[in-house]
Amino acid sequence: MRVILLGPPGAGKGTQAQRLVAKYGIVQLSTGDMLRAAVAAGTPVGLRAKHIMERGELVPDDVVIAIIAERISRPDAARGFVLDGFPRTVPQAQALDRLLVERGLKLDGVIELKVDEDMLLARIQKRVAEMTARGEKLRADDNPEVLKGRLAAYRAQTAPLAGYYDAKGQLKPVDGMAPIDEVTAAIDRLLAGSGPAPAKAVEKPARPRKPAGRAPKRGRRATRTVKKARGKKASTRKASGRRKGRAAAVKRRKPGRKSGRPARTRRNPSSRRRLTKAR
Ligand code: ADP
C-alpha cells in the first residue's frame, strides 16, 4: 500500500497517517518530522532547513527529494508507505513519480483531506493549547503568525497538486471536517476500492456467489459423479454429463412426472430409512 496524504497544515494528515500505519503495517514518511529530526541533530540538512521552517516557508525541493529517495529505499518501506507532507510542490510530485517508476512501484491513491481554512487556525490553536497543558514542547512554527505563512505556502505551492493528481486519475478527496473516525472510514473505503491495475483488468464479471463453505462440497460431489460414471456405458456417461442446471432438468422432465429427477437417480427407500434411523 502506497498512499499520499494531501492537505493543509492542521488537516489531520498525521492522525490519519498513523491509522494507515496500524491498518496496513506500512511506514509513515513525514518530511516535517524528518526535517525536525535533522534540525535537532544539527546535521547539514538541519542547519539549512532550520530558519526556513521557522518562517513557515518550504525547504528547497532538492533537499526533501533527496531525503525521500533515500528513505523509500530502506527495507522497512518495502511493504509500503504513507507520505505525509510530501510532495508539497509540483516538482516534488514529478520527482516522486520518477522515483516510483525507477523502482517499479505504483501509488494506490492520493487522499486529499479537504478542510475549511477558517477552521484550521482554530484547530491548530487547540492543538497548541492541549500540548501546552500536557507540558509538551511546542513546534517552533506552531504560532498564529507562522501558521498564516504555512497556509499561504500551502495555497500557492501545494494546493495545485490536487489538480496534478486529479489529471492522473489518482486523487481521492475526503471531507476532512468530519469526525476523525469518519474520516478514517472514508479513507478505508477509498483505498479498499483501489487495487493494483492488473488485478482489476482480470476481474471476472459479477455473478451471484454461493457461500464460500459450499465450494469443497461441490467439488467432492463432482468427483463422486465421475467415479460412478466410470462403470457406465459411453451413452449413459454422456447423459449424466448433460445433467446440469435447472433449465435442462425441466426440459428432460417426463410428462406427468412431478419431480425432474429421473427415477433411476432417486434415493432408494431403504437407504432413506437407514438415514432416518441414524438421526
Ligand atoms: P504542517 O503541519 O505545516 O503540514 P509539517 O510538519 O509537514 O507541517 O512541515 C513543517 C515544515 O517543514 C514546513 O512548514 C516546511 O518548512 C518543512 N517541510 C516539510 N515537508 C516539506 C516538503 N515536502 N517540502 C518543503 N518543505 C517541507
Q: Which ligand 1 atom minimizes the distance to the CA of 36? A: 12
Which whole number is the average pLDDT over 17-31?
A: 95
Do the bridges between strand 171-175 and strand 109-114 make them parallel or antiparallel, or are there none, so unpaired? parallel
Q: Which ligand 1 atom minimizes the distance to the CA of 124? A: 2
The residue contributing the CA closest to ligand 1 atom 1 is: 9
Q: Which residues in 124-197 belong to E strands, given as ranges?
A: 171-175
- The C-alpha angle with vertex 141 and arms to 16 and 177, in degrees rounded to 5, equals 35
DSSP-based three-state secondary structure for 148: helix
Which has the closest alpha carbon to 7: 134, 151, 106?
Answer: 151
Q: Which of 141, 146, 147 to mutate to test the pocket of ligand 1 (most atoms within 8 A of CB)?
A: 141
Residues 6+ apart with CB under 8 A from 62: none
Question: 203 C-alpha vs ligand 1 centroid, how far in Å?
Answer: 40
Where is 114: in which H helix or E strand? strand 109-114
Do the bridges between strand 81-84 and strand 2-6 make them parallel or antiparallel, or are there none, so unpaired? parallel
Residues with CB under 6 A from ligand 1: 9, 31-32, 35, 52-53, 56-59, 64, 85-86, 88, 92, 141, 150
Question: 12 C-alpha vs ligand 1 centroid, how far in Å?
Answer: 14
What backbone torsions phi and psi does residue 42 show, to the nearest 5 degrees? 65, 30
Would you state the pLDDT for residue 3? 97
**What's the whole-model pTM score?**
0.69
Mean pLDDT of the chain: 77
pLDDT tens column, 190-217: 998 654 333 333 333 344 444 444 444 4
Count of C-beta atoms within a 10 Å radius of residue 137: 7
Point out which residues pair with 29 in neighbouring strands: 83
The residue contributing the CA closest to ligand 1 atom 23 is: 86
pLDDT tens column, 141-170: 888 888 888 999 999 999 999 999 999 999
Do residues 40 and 50 touch, judged by C-beta distance below 8 A?
no
pLDDT tens column, 60-82: 999 999 999 999 999 999 999 99
The residue contributing the CA closest to ligand 1 atom 18 is: 32
Question: 85 C-alpha vs ligand 1 centroid, how far in Å?
Answer: 6
Question: CA–CA separation, 279 vs 277, rounded Å?
Answer: 5
Where is 182: in which H helix or E strand? helix 180-192
**Which residues have a catalytic role annotated?**
13, 88, 127, 139, 150
- The C-alpha angle with vertex 151 and arms to 185 and 16, in degrees rounded to 5, equals 20
